Amino acid sequence: MNEPMLGGMIQTELDRSTPFLRSGNLNCGGCGMSNILQLLGHAIAEREVKLVIPACCGAITAGNYPQSTFDVPMILTTFASAASVATGIASVARLNNEDTRVICLAGDGGTYDIGLATLSAAAERDENILYICYDNEIYGNTGGQRSSATPAGASTMSTPKGKKEIKKDIVAIMAAHRIPYAATVSLAHADDGLRKMRKALDTSGFRFLHILSPCPTGWKSEPAMGIELVRLAVRSGLFPVYEVFHGDRYVINVEPDFSDEALGMYLSLQRRFRKSGMTEATLRPEIDRYWHGLRSLSGRIVPARRFME
Amino acid sequence: MEKRRAEGVHAEEDSAAGLHGTIQMPLEIRVHGRGGQGGVTCAKLIAAVYARTGLYVQTFGDYGAERSGAPVRAFTRVDHLPIKNRNKVYHPDHLLVLDSGLLGPLVLEGVSSGSVLLVNSTDSAESLADQFPSFKLGVIDATAIAREHGIGTSAVVIINTTIVGSYARMLDLPMAAVEYVYSSLGLSDDLAAAHEAYDSVVILPVRQPGGKGNPIAPVQVPIPPVLPQTEHCLDIPTTLQTGTWSSQTPSYQEYEAPCNRACPAGNDVVGFIQALKNDGPEAAAEVLLKTQPLPSVCGRVCPAPCMTECNRKFLDGAVNIRSLERWISGRAQVQLEKKQPLLKKDFAVVGSGPAGLSAAYHLTLEGHRVVVYEKMAMAGGVLRYGIPRYRLPDDMLHRDLDRIIALGVTFRYNHPLDRAGLLKLHDEYDGVIVCKGFGDAYAIGVAGEDLGGVEQGLDYLAGSKESIRQLGGTVLVVGGGNTAIDCARSALRSGASSVKLIYRRSREEMPAIAEEVEEACREGVQVLTWRQPVGFVGNKTVCGVVLAEVDPGPPGKDGRRTPVITDRTFELDCNTVLLALGQDRKLNLLPDSWRIEEARAWEEENPLNVWFAGDCRTGDGTVAHAIGHGRMTAYSALADIDTSPAAGYAEKVYKSVVAPAHIRFSHFPVIPPHSDRHRSVSSYQNNFEEVNLGLSGQEEAERCFSCGRCTFCDTCLVYCPDGVIYRTETGYRIDEAYCKGCGICVVECPRRAMEMHEK
Amino acid sequence: MPVELISANQAAALSATLAGRANRTGRGFCSGVYPITPATECMEYLCAQEIEKSRVVRVESEHSAMGVCIGGAATGARTFTTTSSNGLAYMAENCITAASLRLPVVMVVANRTMGPPWNIWADHGDSLMMRDSGWIQFYCADNQEVFDTVLCAFRLAEDPQVLTPFMICMDGFTLSHTIAQTKVPEQKEVDRFLPPTSIPHQLGRIPHALGQIELSSQVAAHRAQHHNALLGAEKVYKTVQDSFEQIFNRRPAEPVVAYRLEDAETVIISMGTIGATAEQAVDKLRQQGVKAGSLRVRMFRPFPADRLRSLLRGKMFVAVIDRDISLGFGGILWGELRGLAEPGAVVQNYIAGIGGGDVRPGHIRDIVAELKHRSVSAAPVIMEELL
């Protein structure tokens, strides 16, 4: 993170004149999704937007009828319907030559699990939709059960001893649809994130952003440490920050240091990894394996880990 | 009424009998808390405790979409008979409020006088009793207890298990039942907190009894007609004020930077570097000159403890602060405005070394008249006579001196002072500040010390400032301070074929500026450590030295290991020996009846308006220390003389210093320090031109973390999840009506310019 | 007016096409479609049409088909889809969403037995499953009725006083695949009948949300408003009929179609194609001297209780034929109707044609004969074998 790049991003003439996510919303303090919405608002600026949110914490964010928490017109849908409802909205917008960005904001449950078929179909049809998955790696709205985005070793209300299976690779799935743009976004790299959001907003066709979204309630972590946790996940290589164009051109945006220090810190700052005894050593091979694949996809002839112990 | 016992429970038999008699059944309990505090579990724990005593219970939460921090309710019913009522509790007999911030009409709705009210609060029980005289009141700071026991997170402390202890005490419930319930629910870790809450709850009786049956009226919330969905197409903003959810709140707070704390001169290092970065050298000089009369000098010769302490050294190397000071000194023509005091005073300052100049400068800045008495023909003291030109060119010294003279300080040269002279000054002036520097140089005290060619380094340095004195052959310098290095490098420039520096400890322990030692070595000075001369050999003039090896002994008072001279010796040829062993602090000026206390002269019980500053008082031995002490002495003198409030001068006091752990290194890109440029010459012979050329630009200022001081970098703004931070004319404003107190802004602040505090 | 020889599936799709095209001056036509027997043909026909300012999205599931309609309607488009049986069940939660958000989606359901065990023939169990979801439900008996009802559905659903989704039900195969003459109006006539869609609460530029969380009191209020809108739809339907008649010179069928009822002593009540068969049976019974009449319930939701009560006044023998069964209870239509008959009347339930069995005139005459022997109502009779 380069501090001068952060400056001038918000509350300037480039920003929207009113906050995208309004004060008085029902999100927990330190919610990563709130952070995403703030950043997204700065990226949207004065672009016209319609927002689609399926069942997830974001549905609560919208607040009580008839008050508006979002500064744009929005619709709340059933769990598996974000991409299909957005298809309808995007279609009508196109029929009427409206320059509207239709944005789906869905959790990992609505993306990786119940909404995957809908999402896949919309991506295959290359609908003109920006789909943002805020991934808190848990069914947060129901109190914290495992999803297929939950990482191995994390305890949830439905895997009290820790989940055994590794996290689904959603970006690979989306890239396999050959959509124009898919990217992962790190909240700890706000400048990179803002750039990708703007890029995604202004690309036509189906765009997918995967954002790791800290959940202090579900991760059993300090609310204040959310951004730092993302930073540690990026540094350690656990959360790769990259973008994929048309399913074949891979660009890695942030080089991790692959340090066990960062990985250990990431684990120890969350109580969800305690019971399974997940350690740096148990996680490292999978991270290396993933990066090996990513390196070959990105066409860079460098070792998966730049800094070997 | 038939009293039955709920089946399937193993009652705490002994206590149950008493309990059933004292508490009126059926019993209704309502718990008010915030999402995350554990209100629902609290109600469940209470129910479980009653169940353990053999009663029928029912407990449930008021579930909604509430998030962490939002107000929530939970209910418990207790009876001798099976409970059929399935509604929420509207008229509670016991009311538990887990957050005193919630205490309001909505919480108290339906409660009758005489009811039990248990509040988690930091307020005193008395003040709450004044508010709620008609209740049996229990007050406990459960948050503090739970936090101490590490239950929950710092933003959301979970207090349910704690406050149940206080409830048990208020209702005389057996702790055995509480212990049973906690262990059966896997909460045994929290028992200690419950016991502490049991012991420390303050219980006050009902003060204003009122008849039962006049509950607090429900709050009439007007229910607006529900707009049909088919007509809802208006923008209706939110009204919920989430600021009430939080127990802590962030604010902007300035902390002391380690460089500022380390600067002996008291310079605002962060201040001048940030001013340089943002507004250029003139603005930086405005800041710097407030404390620093000699930036051209310190920017060259200061050992820069600020750089030793700089937090950036843990990332990619300390900021080159000294050279930034030099950069500013060479690029700003700033003269500070003098103040206009109510009473102008006359001061005499004895000595024009750095301490004297600093005292004179600051007194003049404060608007007073100052005359400096200097024994030599020119001002500067050690700066002029002790520091070689290749480190401090004369014109650089004059630049600083000219600024001080232009400010209006009067100098009397060739004016040495004795006891009578000091007494005279004491009589003539409102105040006298004596800054005469060190006394005599220490002798070495070994055989052959008085041979020709063995001399004090300071004398040699002073002499070579007048005209270059040629030395020949091998020159031996004894000592490890800056004087020793200056001697060695000057000797190298004055014809010596070889220069050896003898020091009795390790190179790392040398008091000299590390870069100077490096420079000396680079120029060809040989450093011999763990050696000590034990005798000089020669006939009239010295031709050799006997060196003993030194072993590191046990640590002394200062923590350094005491040198132990061994009998392992060897001899070394030499032609000149320069001693640089330090100086004493003898004043030789005080009349016999005077004594010094707290840097001030006293005659019997009377304080005199004579103060002592700089090396003659502290012996710190650096220009920066002398400047700092000169300034502080000047201000304490002013405070002593002029007791009017306007004369007060307050140093800024900080809560604490910014440690490396407070800096978010990940927010900064790695940029190696910008090093000084050096003149490269083939030979230093007879060349006293300045070697160090300083920085080539001011980019180095960009590297300053600005520890503890907001730079308006917007990081807090960018990362606030709720967007409640707003830019203002002077900085930032946090909208407390909506801030949920998550603390991300404080954690993300790259430089510890924010802090979190309890509401 | 040209007459086309088309199936009811095609009639439905053609009607939707004309309606969709009529909104070319509005915000267009948007449809999400997914194949399922026996509604597939309707979907295919629609996909073959060229409709100005329209998009027919070939989605991956019925669930998404309704999702697309919700999105389209929420931004002001005219929306249509078609499904059947398990497809409707898969779509169910989004059907409820469309209703609760008061979006005027029009859907043709080709009634088919729920499976597995798999069976593709007519049964009202699928659409009646959605009885309480807040949709208007009409059951049709012939091709023209399907065509006309689809056109009327757009007009009624989009009426500002109604604004609820509309389900047109037709018996699978029995009607959906049966080809018959159908009068098809010109586009300009349809344009006159169907003004551009106007959904007052659609998402425009003003920030507001559809489908937010609501307090219990708000849910109750919205349910009451929705309920009243449905109840009022019966009256609005009359104005739709009037307008239809004015433009197309024929009157669409009544909510309840009464046949030779005036002097009837025995009344056969049914929905869908069985109603047509019943009319034929009535004619035969009249020839045999039996004073029989038929009531065909076209509008099932809102339930025309008052209309039925008055039609049943003085009728002492009522046979309710259900092509559905609420297991553990009996026929669904019977359950709703029996309280509306004359006190003391025999209201006997016959469950016939479930799983797609053919209900022939003879079966109906048998029912009438059986009913005459009863003096009181008994438990529903399930006609397992229709021979």
Domain boundaries, chain A: 3-298
Kindly state the tokens that stand for B91: 């008229």
Q: Which of B229, B234, B236 sits opposite C222 (nearest CB)?
A: B229
Report the C-alpha gap between A81 and A86 in whole angstroms.
8
Query: Pick from B255, B213, B55, B40: which is nearest to B707 by CA?
Result: B255
Backbone dihedral angles phi then psi of residue C345, each to the nearest 5 degrees? -70, 150
Task: Determine the pLDDT at residue A1.
Answer: 35
CB of A6 within 8 Å of any CB in chain B? yes
* Sign of the Cα pseudo-torsion (C269, C273, C274, C278, in order): positive
pLDDT of C28 above 60: yes
Portion 164-193 of A in contact with B at CB < 8 A: 187-188, 190
pLDDT bracket for residue B17 (50, 70, 90): very low
Kindly state the tokens that stand for C325: 């069964």
Element (H, E) at B163: helix B160-170
Residue bearing tokens 């307008």? C243
pLDDT bracket for residue B133 (50, 70, 90): confident
Residue bearing tokens 């039942």? B177
Query: Pick from A209, A264, A272, A214: which is nearest to A235 by CA?
Result: A264
Residue B76: beta bridge partners?
B29, B59
- Write the single-letter amino acid at A205: G
Contact yes or no for B229 and C201 at CB 8 A: yes
Portion 28-47 of A in contact with B at CB < 8 A: 28-32, 34-35, 38-39, 41
Mean pLDDT computed over B605-630 = 90
Give, in order, the Cα–Cα distances in Å from C104 to each of B108, C72, C77, C197: 46, 10, 10, 9
Contact yes or no for A222 and B155 at CB 8 A: yes
Question: Is domain A3-298 given the CATH code 3.30.750.24 in the classification?
Answer: no
Domain boundaries, chain C: 3-248, 256-382
Report the C-alpha gap between B283 and B304 in whole angstroms.
22
Mean pLDDT computed over C38-49 = 97
Query: Pick from A47, A32, A42: which is nearest to A9 by CA?
Result: A42
Determine the residue among B717, B742, B756 to mutate to test chain A binding: the one whose Cβ has the most chain A Cβ atoms within 10 Å.
B742
8 Å CB contact between A106 and A149: no
pLDDT bracket for residue B650 (50, 70, 90): low
Query: Pick from B750, B154, A69, A194: which is nearest to A183 by CA?
Result: A194
Task: Determine the pLDDT at residue C257.
Answer: 97
Backbone dihedral angles phi then psi of residue A286, each to the nearest 5 degrees? -70, -40
Report long-range pairs for A156-159 (Cβ below 8 Å, ≥24 apart). A156/A218, A156/A272
The model's pTM is: 0.88
8 Å CB contact between B315 and B670: yes
8 Å CB contact between B89 and B61: no
Q: Euclidean distance between the first and final Cα of chain B, in Å?
A: 49
Report the C-alpha gap between B351 and B379 in whole angstroms.
8
| pLDDT, tens digit, 9 for 90 and up, residues C31-42 | 999 999 999 999
Report the C-alpha gap between A243 and A198 in whole angstroms.
13
Contact yes or no for C217 and B232 at CB 8 A: no
Question: Would you tell me how many other CB atoms lie within 10 Å of the CB of residue B195?
Answer: 18
Q: Which ranges of chain A have pLDDT less than 50?
A: 1-4, 307-309
Considering only CA atoms, give the Rg of chain A: 18
The DSSP call for residue B655 is S
Residue B137 neighbours by CB under 8 Å, 6+ apart: B117, B118, B119, B125, B128, B129, B203, B204
The DSSP call for residue A302 is S
CATH architecture for segment(s) C3-248: 3-Layer(aba) Sandwich (3.40)
Cis peptide before A73 (omega within 30 of 0): no
Contact yes or no for A87 and C75 at CB 8 A: no
Report the C-alpha gap between B61 and B97 in whole angstroms.
14
Does the fold of domain C256-382 match that of domain C3-248?
A: yes
Chain C residues close to A75, C-beta within 8 Å: 70-71, 74, 101, 203, 209-211
Domains of chain B: 13-204 (3.40.920.10), 248-255+708-758 (3.30.70.20), 258-334+654-703 (1.10.1060), 346-439+585-647 (3.50.50.60), 465-579 (3.50.50.60)
Task: Determine the pLDDT at residue B643.
Answer: 64
Quickly count helices (H) and strands (E) in chain B.
24, 29
Report the C-alpha gap between B518 and B310 in whole angstroms.
20
Chain A residues close to C76, C-beta within 8 Å: 92
Report the C-alpha gap between C134 and C136 in whole angstroms.
7
Contact yes or no for A92 and C57 at CB 8 A: no
- Torsion-angle region of C289 (φ positive above 0: left; ψ -120 to 50: alpha; else: beta): left
Residue B346: beta bridge partners?
B369
Q: Which of A97-106, B407-416, B484-493, B566-575 has the highest mean pLDDT?
A: A97-106
Rounded to 5°, angle at Cα C352 from C351 and C358: 170
Kindly state the tokens that stand for A229: 């946790």
Contact yes or no for A3 and B713 at CB 8 A: yes
SS3 state of residue C326: strand
Name the more confident of B233 and C148: C148
Chain B residues close to C225, C-beta within 8 Å: 226, 228-230
CB of B241 within 8 Å of any CB in chain A? yes
Backbone dihedral angles phi then psi of residue C361, each to the nearest 5 degrees? -55, -35
Task: Determine the pLDDT at residue B15.
Answer: 47
pLDDT bracket for residue B553 (50, 70, 90): confident
- Write the single-letter amino acid at B370: V
| pLDDT, tens digit, 9 for 90 and up, residues C253-270 | 999 999 999 999 999 999
Task: Determine the pLDDT at residue B2.
Answer: 44
Chain C residues close to B66, C-beta within 8 Å: none
Distance from CA of B713 to the nearest CA of A (A): 6
Chain A residues close to B242, C-beta within 8 Å: 23-26
Chain B residues close to A29, C-beta within 8 Å: 68-69, 155-156, 245-246, 721-722, 740-742
Residue bearing tokens 């690029």? B331
pLDDT of C20 above 80: yes
| pLDDT, tens digit, 9 for 90 and up, residues B47-94 | 999 999 899 999 999 876 566 777 889 999 999 999 999 999 999 999
* Sign of the Cα pseudo-torsion (C187, C192, C196, C201, in order): negative
pLDDT bracket for residue B332 (50, 70, 90): confident
Mean pLDDT computed over C367-374 = 93
Contact yes or no for C68 and A70 at CB 8 A: no
Contact yes or no for C28 and A59 at CB 8 A: no
Q: Which of B156, B232, B750 sits opposite A66 (nearest CB)?
A: B232
Q: Which of C101, C160, C217 sits opposite B229 (nearest CB)?
A: C101
pLDDT of C68 above 70: yes
Backbone dihedral angles phi then psi of residue C158, each to the nearest 5 degrees? -85, 0
Chain C residues close to B235, C-beta within 8 Å: 206-208
* Sign of the Cα pseudo-torsion (B626, B631, B634, B640, in order): negative
DSSP string, A5-18: HHTTSSSSTTS-SS
Residue B563: beta bridge partners?
B552
Q: What is the dihedral of CA C335, C340, C344, C346, to 10 degrees?
A: -50
8 Å CB contact between B340 and B316: no
| pLDDT, tens digit, 9 for 90 and up, residues C149-175 | 999 999 999 999 999 999 999 999 999
CB of B597 within 8 Å of any CB in chain C? no
Average model confidence (pLDDT) for chain C?
96
Task: Determine the pLDDT at residue A309.
Answer: 41
Q: Which of C160, C206, C229 sits opposite B233 (nearest CB)?
A: C206
Kindly state the tokens that stand for B583: 């100086």
Q: Which of B228, B235, B236 sits opposite C225 (nearest CB)?
A: B228
Contact yes or no for C102 and B230 at CB 8 A: yes
* Sign of the Cα pseudo-torsion (C112, C33, C105, C216, in order): positive
Mean pLDDT computed over B163-182 = 93
CB of B226 within 8 Å of any CB in chain C? yes
Element (H, E) at B321: helix B321-329
| Global ipTM | 0.95
Task: Determine the pLDDT at residue B663.
Answer: 94
Report the C-alpha gap between C142 and C140 in whole angstroms.
6
8 Å CB contact between C306 and C337: no
Distance from CA of C339 to the nearest CA of B (A): 32
Report long-range pairs for B656-661 (Cβ below 8 Å, ≥24 apart). B656/B255, B656/B256, B657/B255, B657/B256, B657/B257, B657/B258, B657/B261, B657/B708, B658/B255, B658/B256, B658/B257, B658/B258, B658/B311, B658/B707, B658/B708, B658/B751, B658/B752, B659/B258, B659/B311, B660/B311, B660/B314
CB of A17 within 8 Å of any CB in chain B? no
Residue B148 neighbours by CB under 8 Å, 6+ apart: B193
Distance from CA of A72 to the nearest CA of C (A): 4
Contact yes or no for A73 and C213 at CB 8 A: no
8 Å CB contact between C82 and C32: no
Kindly state the tokens that stand for B303: 């050992």
- Partners of chain C (3+ Cβ pairs below 8 A): A, B
Average model confidence (pLDDT) for chain B?
88
Task: Determine the pLDDT at residue B210.
Answer: 63
pLDDT of C218 above 70: yes
For chains B and C, CB pairs below 8 A equal 41
Burial class of A286 by CB neighbour count within 10 A (0 to 12, 13 to 18, 19+): middle
Q: Which CATH number fits domain C256-382: 3.40.50.300, 3.40.630.30, 3.40.50.920, 3.40.630.10?
A: 3.40.50.920
